[in-house]
Amino acid sequence: MYASPMHYPALVLNADFRPLSYYPLSLWSWEEAIRNVFTGRVQVVSEYDTCVHSPSLEMKLPSVIALKEYAKPVSQVAFTRFNLFLRDMFSCQYCGVQLPAQDLTFDHVLPKCRGGRTHWENIVTACRPCNTRKGHLSIKDAGMKLMTPPYRPSSFELQEHGRFFPPNHLHESWRDFLYWDTELED
């Protein structure tokens, strides 16, 4: 049987059984997961019911895998569009409306045409109407205010924010590893 990688991603945990990353969630395709199982780099923690076959082997697809060697988390957060939206909780920093990523833009607080640079401390998430309204003006000239001034987030902060925005696909076998602070059921 052919398994589509879109339907069977594997959640990747560090050797301490915490997700390698929350932002974006650390997922590998089923092919990459199986390749790493065979090379001995990971151990299978949980499996899907779906199998893949070769002429001499049948194997359930891994749903959760853990690295055998601990990978040290990065200390600096990458300056990416997704991490910017995550820092700002997918909310326009001018009007406060929360939107999906495809409906958001980013805005230079001090416009580039006025010497503004593209870095954490000068970029905020904006909805299209607010970004258009502000244009190349300063916040003061546009008569606008920021909900939160831009800043460089910590890795921990983005991980915490990431818990509020789970990916579209969350397999039940992942839940025990994604939400460390949830109350246990009796």
Rounded to 10 degrees, the C-alpha dihedral 99/153/84/148 comes to 50
Confidence band, pLDDT 50/70/90 cuts, at residue 186: very low
Residue 68's SS3 state is coil
Q: What percent of the chain has pLDDT over 90?
A: 66
Rounded mean pLDDT, 99-104: 92
Cα separations (Å) of 153 from 4, 40, 68, 105? 35, 35, 29, 18
| DSSP strand pairing (27-28 vs 42-53) | unpaired
pTM value surpassing 0.75:
no
Rounded to 10 degrees, the C-alpha dihedral 142/148/153/157 comes to -150
Confidence band, pLDDT 50/70/90 cuts, at residue 138: very high
- Whether pLDDT at 182 is above 50: no
- Whether pLDDT at 2 is above 70: no
Rounded CA-CA distance 49/63 in Å is 9
State residue 21's pLDDT score. Answer: 78
State residue 74's pLDDT score. Answer: 75
State residue 1's pLDDT score. Answer: 45
Rounded to 10 degrees, the C-alpha dihedral 162/163/165/171 comes to 120
**Per-residue model confidence as pLDDT tens digits over 13-66:** 999 998 887 766 788 999 999 999 999 999 999 999 999 988 999 999 999 999
